[in-house]
């Protein structure tokens, strides 16, 4: 295992997560201004992000974060969380965590975005990158696209952009990270994938930490590059009541995945994380007909 | 441990579950006819239950059930499932199951009802009773009430009716089963109870199986007696948009409980149960604002 990242490396990651958050919020607010429609929500006022700072309750854990949420006319609900927390893993968990057997203290920082658009013609999306530090340190993350009405061009541009980001890191990793995503975002009880995939990776701790950090920045930039562009192409069209109904059903699958299977959600809720920030990923309106 | 119930005892339980289902469906359809309103849904046509039979897929497990679902003008969505399944517990599970260490074969039958009313003034409710057979056998079940706008009279009549059912079984069990319910239907990540409670019990295997069976029949009759009466008292009043909004938020908590914590839901989904029947408990329309 590698040595733990030093304070400067941790600080730099936090700065990047905040910077990426600002860029993502600006891009998504820009779409709120740019939508022309006419569609079912385009006559509403453009949305703006509201930021709420939170701190972890006492009890051995510390840190906090900023939840940025926008409810708009392109995005029915989109949340971008940046959080930095530290504390001590319970004896129950530490055995599973690299570098925590020797010393249970950890530090973790990350950015997480979940976007639920108004229009069923605009795909929902998720993006997350993080740095975890114990007596060693590693990056993890991923992003994936969840359309209601899949579109071959959107699909292709999403995957091609992620492939370029991966290729800049390592010529073989894209296939592996794509397969990992397909495997992870799957609902076994439905026999359905959550969406059309993307990439997923964890425990990225190559010998050169600079390269790993450059890669998660590339993932963030790739998402910033491709997702707002897809939204921009699809956001003006009006939709049918049947497409809206399909969207609310599809969102139910999203809820099922996040509450039944998502490790981050379950881990966060079971270990006293910020419930509002963790469940910000849940869609604004959902149906189980 | 007691001996396993014989075929006649199993058959009798299945007959009771089917009979109770018929009575519950008739009572709830009667309310669909009886509602006068005027409220936001009372001008719709009265709902009727639709029954769908299902069978377990092959793979060592067998059996099936009937899902009865009604989408009406009093009940936005109410499901009553009766299922009878048998098979073999996996090695992973059998250690935790009474009487399965010696022989992993099991048989299980039960009835489960979840009601999500149209009106936020009408409480949601759940009722379930079951018989599980391995090399031994036991009953389990419970019921609880989840109002959006709690009403002291409803609350009192619900708990008093359940207390009478419990008292007929054993003078001390009501307090224990009520506390078990409060403990079980609790969302730790929200610091909130799911509703206003009721009763919950499991592994009911007294020396007299007749008495246990009589008790779960009493629980079914108590629910049949009290819940439609509560619905009938509350169903005509019109509600405010704000009450409806509160209802959709409260339903989000119901989803969180069922997918994060409910043992039956998680057990069923993880062991290849009928997904549609298990997730019939999820509300028809939900919001996470």
Contact between B266 and A279 using a beta-carbon 8 Å cutoff = no
Burial A134-154 (b: 16+ CB within 10 A, else e): bbbbbbbbbbbbbbbbebeeb
For residues A218 and A216, give the distance between their C-alpha atoms in angstroms, rounded to a whole number: 5
Q: Average of pLDDT values for B115-119? A: 98
Q: Is the pLDDT of residue B172 over 80?
A: yes
Quick one: which H or E segment has residue B82? strand B75-88
CATH architecture classification, B7-35+49-281: 3-Layer(aba) Sandwich (3.40)
Q: What is the pLDDT of residue B271?
A: 66
Contact between A189 and B275 using a beta-carbon 8 Å cutoff = yes
Q: Is the pLDDT of residue B261 over 70?
A: yes
For residues B93 and B70, give the distance between their C-alpha atoms in angstroms, rounded to a whole number: 34
Q: What is the pLDDT of residue B158?
A: 98
Assess contact for A105 and A99: CB atoms under 8 A.
no
- Which residue of B57, B192, B286 to mutate against A (max A Cβ within 10 Å)? B286
Signed CA dihedral, A20, A25, A28, A31: sign only? negative
Residues of chain B contacting A270 with CB distance shorter than 8 Å:
189
* pLDDT tens digits, one per residue of B22-78: 999 999 999 999 999 999 999 999 999 999 999 886 666 788 999 999 999 999 999
Assess contact for A218 and A143: CB atoms under 8 A.
no
**Among residues of chain B, what percentage have pLDDT more than 90?**
81
Q: Which residues 170-229 of A have a C-beta within 8 angstroms of B? A: 189-190
Confidence band, pLDDT 50/70/90 cuts, at residue B3: confident
Q: Does the model's pTM come out above 0.90? A: yes
* pLDDT tens digits, one per residue of B200-216: 999 999 888 999 999 99
What token pair was written down for B267? 């057990």
Contact between B287 and A285 using a beta-carbon 8 Å cutoff = yes
**Min Cα–Cα distance to chain B from A146, Å:** 18
Q: Is B156 exposed, middle or buried (0-12, 13-18, 19+ CB in 10 A)?
A: exposed
For residues B208 and A164, give the distance between their C-alpha atoms in angstroms, rounded to a whole number: 70
For residues B73 and B152, give the distance between their C-alpha atoms in angstroms, rounded to a whole number: 25
Scanning the structure block, which residue is given the tokens 């006819």?
Answer: B33
The reply to whether B189 belongs to the active site is no
**φ, ψ of residue B53 in degrees (nearest 5):** -85, 145
Q: Average of pLDDT values for B249-269? A: 91
Q: What is the pLDDT of residue B262?
A: 92
ipTM confidence: 0.90
Q: What is the pLDDT of residue A213?
A: 97
Per-residue pLDDT of chain A (289 residues; tens, 9 = 90+): 788 999 999 999 999 999 999 999 999 999 999 999 999 999 999 999 999 999 886 666 788 999 999 999 999 999 999 999 888 887 877 888 888 888 989 999 999 999 999 999 999 999 999 999 999 999 999 999 999 999 999 999 999 999 999 999 999 999 999 999 999 999 999 999 999 999 999 999 988 899 999 999 999 999 999 999 999 999 999 999 999 999 999 999 999 999 999 988 887 787 677 899 999 999 999 999 9
Q: What is the pLDDT of residue A264?
A: 84
Scanning the structure block, which residue is given the tokens 């939204």?
Answer: A231
Please state the domain extents for chain B.
7-35+49-281
For residues B84 and B143, give the distance between their C-alpha atoms in angstroms, rounded to a whole number: 20
């Amino acid at each position: 295992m590698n040595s733990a990242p030093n304070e400067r490396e941790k600080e730099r990651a936090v700065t990047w997560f905040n910077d990426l958050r600002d860029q993502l919020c600006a891009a998504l607010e820009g779409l709120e201004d740019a939508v022309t429609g006419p569609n079912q929500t385009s006559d509403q006022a453009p949305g703006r992000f509201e930021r709420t700072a939170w701190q972890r309750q006492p009890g051995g854990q510390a840190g906090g974060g900023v939840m940025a949420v926008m409810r708009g006319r392109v995005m029915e609900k989109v949340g971008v969380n940046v959080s930095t927390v530290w504390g001590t893993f319970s004896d129950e968990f530490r055995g599973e965590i690299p570098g925590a057997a020797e010393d249970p203290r950890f530090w973790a920082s990350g950015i997480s975005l979940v976007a639920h658009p108004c229009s069923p013609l605009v795909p929902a999306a998720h993006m997350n990158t993080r740095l975890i530090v114990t007596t060693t340190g590693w990056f993890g993350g991923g992003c994936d696209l969840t359309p209601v009405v899949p579109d071959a061009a959107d699909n292709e541009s999403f995957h091609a952009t992620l492939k370029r980001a991966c290729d800049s890191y390592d010529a073989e990793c894209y296939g592996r990270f794509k397969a990992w995503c397909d495997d992870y975002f799957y609902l076994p009880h439905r026999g359905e994938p959550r969406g059309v995939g993307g990439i997923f990776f964890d425990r990225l701790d190559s010998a050169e930490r600079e390269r790993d950090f450059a890669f998660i920045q590339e993932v963030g930039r790739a998402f910033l590059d491709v997702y707002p562009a897809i939204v921009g192409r699809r956001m003006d069209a009006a939709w049918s009541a049947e497409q809206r109904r399909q969207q609310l059903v599809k969102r139910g699958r999203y809820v099922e995945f996040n509450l039944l299977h998502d490790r981050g959600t379950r881990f966060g809720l079971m270990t006293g994380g910020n419930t509002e920030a963790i469940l910000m990923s849940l869609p604004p309106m959902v149906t189980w007909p």
